[in-house]
């Protein structure tokens, strides 16, 4: 049907050009708001009426006449109706809708994917400082980042996944001193342990585990580093390096359980060691975008839409945290990434204007609006009807690994992607393990497994080959339920494109739930394994195409498509 739609769109474009040169740019289809009105609609006549000084209804009549004479409309269109002030509703013949089944079965995993663009894109996500286990908020970010990467890969982008983390600074110092206190035998609640609302200490049990392994002189390995402990409780720097490596290893285990992989780990410390921070500051100074005041160095960020100028270097000589961010994003641009997306918590909202201001002020050719940001809220976890606020291991929050162990990787991914990133979300553990239609991931996966069961029964009885179904005679697919299912299959590529442009993987979850519901309705309406071989093969082709699209959509989310449940 995608090829059919392309033919019809080209004919519409040609007809509009005949009515008014240059009007072909108005050629576009949309879905009628009421399904009964047709399968495609266009408002081109209404858009052109005013500039042409014509009655929109009459213009729609003229356009309909042109379309009815066009060969693609004669071949694929059953009726063209005019509604209201000039809406044109198009009803397709059943054979036009049936083409989508063949297209899906021939393209299989590539259905919905665009050709390679030759463009490079970097998505930075998770980027958790190595000071503790990954929490549920990191999980939402991991699911979002990975799904957005997958979405853009379907659109032909060469996508690069990057994890940026702070391996120095105040938080890492707190990690080291907390580990040292544990190694000396102290624990939270002891007089020697820092206390109070802003106490510089991490209280989770994982700190005791780090201290014990440090004293045991163990070696820890992560994706980007390795360190062997000295066991010397007074060697604070050794303890810092060991703790960072230990927690990076723990985070790797979290990400492995979530099946998220990165192409690169970028260290904040490298920006200082390589001189990139000083170089960025020099660029801003040379561009005349800085000034000294009250012993501090300021950026003229108000020139770029920020609500006030920002301190770059404090009076004590240290840089504020957005300065290395500017240096880091300059490196992204210099590495050839023309599109960059940062997935971060909503608490980072204030950094957007100042980072973008710094990048514009640096005058290195970076376009306005670079980088893109996707901000997400935190996640509440409910179990047994009550909110779960802490994990024994982490001490202050629910970890990503807790959630995976309580439910499954698939459930966590699907649930965390089922709402817009910036909306509050409550993760219901009991719902995530329920095997019923109220559980959205179960509902979608069950539709796929149900189809696989039908196909397996056919193979076992008739020795059928799914690949051969792409050549099946599809003419028996005439029922309302079959045609509704085919129309929904045809929407998949456009849905992917829109979801990518809007950084909206939740659109994929909505689509998959709708597709699963449409399949279940079809299954309830028509028996598939009938005696009539022509009808049976047509229906098998339709459900096999549905399984393929369910599989493809779940893969975008990083969720499995089981054959049995």
Could you read off the pLDDT tens digit of each residue along the chain, which spans 565 residues? 678 888 999 999 999 998 888 888 888 998 887 878 888 999 999 898 888 888 989 999 999 999 999 999 999 999 999 998 899 999 999 899 999 999 999 999 999 999 998 999 999 999 998 888 899 999 999 999 999 999 999 999 999 999 998 887 788 999 999 999 999 999 999 999 998 877 788 988 899 999 999 999 999 998 888 999 999 999 999 999 999 999 999 999 999 999 999 999 999 989 999 999 999 999 999 999 999 999 999 999 999 988 899 999 999 999 998 999 999 999 999 999 999 999 999 988 989 999 999 999 999 999 999 999 999 999 999 999 999 987 655 567 888 999 999 999 999 999 999 999 999 999 999 999 999 999 999 999 999 999 999 999 999 999 989 999 999 999 999 999 999 999 999 999 999 999 999 999 999 999 999 999 999 999 999 999 999 999 999 999 999 999 999 999 999 999 999 999 9
DSSP-assigned beta bridge partners for residue 253: none
Residues 6+ apart with CB under 8 A from 255: 126, 134, 142, 261, 262
87-92: strand order across its sheet:
40-42, 87-92, 77-83
Separation CA 472–CA 546 (nearest Å): 15
Crossing angle (nearest 10°) for helices 492-501 and 533-557: 10
> Could you report how far apart the first and last alpha carbons of the chain are, in Å?
32
Spell out the domains of the chain, with CATH numbers in brackets.
2-92 (3.30.1360.70), 170-257 (no CATH), 437-557 (1.10.730.10)
- Which pLDDT belongs to residue 33? 79
pLDDT for 395: 64
Q: What is the predicted pLDDT for the residue at 208?
A: 95
Rounded to whole angstroms, the Cα distance separating 385 from 514 reads 28
Rg (CA), the chain: 29
SS3 284: helix
By DSSP bridging, strand 290-293 and strand 296-299 are: antiparallel
- In order of 32, 322, 330, the CA distances from 339 in angstroms are 34, 20, 12
Tally of helices (H runs) and strands (E runs) in the chain: 21, 16
Tokens of 288: 């005349």
> Before 371, cis peptide (omega within 30)?
yes
Residue with tokens 């044109």: 88
Distance CA 461, CA 546 (A): 21
Q: Are 323 and 262 in contact (CB under 8 A)?
A: no
pLDDT at 394: 59
Contacts of 360 (CB under 8 A, 6+ apart): 304, 366, 368
In 333-404 the beta strands, taken as DSSP E runs, fall at 339-345, 372-376, 379-383, 386-388
Q: What is the sign of the dihedral through the CA atoms of 235, 236, 238 and 243?
A: positive
State the number of CA atoms in the 13 A half-sphere of 491 facing the CB: 19
Partner residues linked to 20 by β-bridges: none
Residue 515, Cβ density class (10 Å: 0-12 exposed, 13-18 middle, ≥19 buried): buried
Judge whether 154 and 496 are in contact, CB under 8 Å: yes
Tell me the HSE value of 456 on the side-chain side, using a 13 A CA sphere. Answer: 8
Residue-level pLDDT at 321: 86
Helical H segments across 70-169, by residue range: 71-76, 94-107, 136-154
pLDDT at 1: 67
Note whether 559 and 551 are within 8 A (CB).
no
Tokens in use for 430? 């009991």
- pLDDT attached to residue 26: 86
């Amino acid at each position: 049907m995608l090829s059919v739609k392309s033919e019809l769109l080209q004919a519409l474009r040609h007809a509009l050009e005949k009515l008014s040169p240059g009007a072909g740019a108005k050629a576009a289809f949309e879905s009628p708001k009421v399904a009964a009105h047709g399968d495609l609609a266009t408002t081109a006549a209404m858009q052109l009426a005013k500039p042409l000084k014509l009655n929109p209804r009459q213009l729609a009549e003229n356009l309909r006449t042109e379309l009815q004479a066009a060969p693609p409309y004669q071949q694929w269109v059953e009726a063209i109706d005019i509604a209201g002030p000039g809406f044109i509703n198009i009803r397709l013949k059943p054979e036009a809708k049936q083409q989508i089944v063949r297209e899906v079965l021939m393209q299989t995993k590539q259905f919905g994917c665009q050709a390679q663009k030759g463009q490079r894109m970097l998505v930075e996500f998770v980027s958790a400082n190595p000071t503790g286990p990954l929490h549920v908020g990191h999980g939402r970010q991991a699911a979002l980042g990975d799904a957005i990467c997958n979405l853009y890969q379907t659109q032909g982008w060469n996508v690069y996944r990057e994890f940026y983390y702070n391996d120095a600074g105040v938080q890492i110092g707190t990690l080291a001193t907390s580990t040292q206190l544990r190694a000396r035998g102290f624990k939270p609640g002891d007089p020697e342990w820092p206390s109070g609302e802003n106490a510089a200490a991490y209280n989770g049990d994982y700190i005791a585990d780090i201290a014990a392994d440090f004293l045991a002189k163990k070696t820890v390995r992560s994706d980007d580093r390795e360190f062997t402990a000295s066991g010397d409780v007074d060697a604070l720097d050794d303890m810092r390096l060991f703790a960072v490596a230990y927690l990076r290893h723990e985070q790797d285990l979290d990400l492995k359980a979530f099946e998220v992989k990165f192409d690169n780990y970028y260290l904040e410390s490298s920006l200082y060691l390589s001189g990139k921070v000083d170089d960025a500051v020099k660029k801003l100074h040379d561009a005349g975008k800085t000034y000294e005041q009250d012993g501090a160095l300021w950026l003229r960020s108000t020139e770029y839409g920020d609500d006030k100028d920002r301190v770059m270097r404090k009076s004590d000589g240290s840089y504020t945290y957005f300065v290395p961010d500017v240096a880091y994003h300059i490196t992204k641009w210099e590495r050839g990434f023309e599109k960059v997306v940062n997935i971060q918590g909503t608490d980072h909202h204030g950094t957007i204007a100042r980072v973008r201001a710094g990048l514009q002020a640096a005058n290195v050719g970076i376009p306005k609006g670079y980088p893109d940001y996707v901000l997400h809220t935190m996640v509440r976890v409910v179990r047994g009807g009550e909110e779960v606020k802490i994990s024994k291991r982490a001490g202050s929050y629910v970890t990503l690994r807790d959630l995976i162990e309580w439910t499954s990787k698939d459930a966590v991914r699907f649930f965390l992607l089922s709402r817009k990133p910036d909306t509050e979300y409550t993760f219901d553990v009991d719902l995530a393990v329920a095997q019923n239609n109220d559980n959205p991931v179960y509902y979608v996966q069950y539709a796929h497994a149900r189809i696989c069961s039908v196909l397996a029964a056919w193979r076992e009885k008739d020795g059928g080959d799914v690949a051969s179904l792409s050549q099946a005679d599809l003419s028996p697919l005439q029922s309302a339920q079959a045609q509704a299912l085919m129309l929904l299959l045809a929407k998949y590529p456009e849905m992917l494109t829109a979801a990518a442009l809007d950084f909206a993987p939740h659109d994929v979850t909505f689509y998959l739930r709708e597709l699963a519901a449409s399949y279940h309705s079809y299954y309830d309406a028509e028996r598939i394994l009938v005696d009539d071989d022509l009808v049976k093969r047509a229906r098998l082709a339709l459900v096999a195409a549905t399984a393929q699209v369910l599989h493809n959509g779940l893969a975008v989310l990083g969720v499995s498509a089981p054959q049995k449940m």
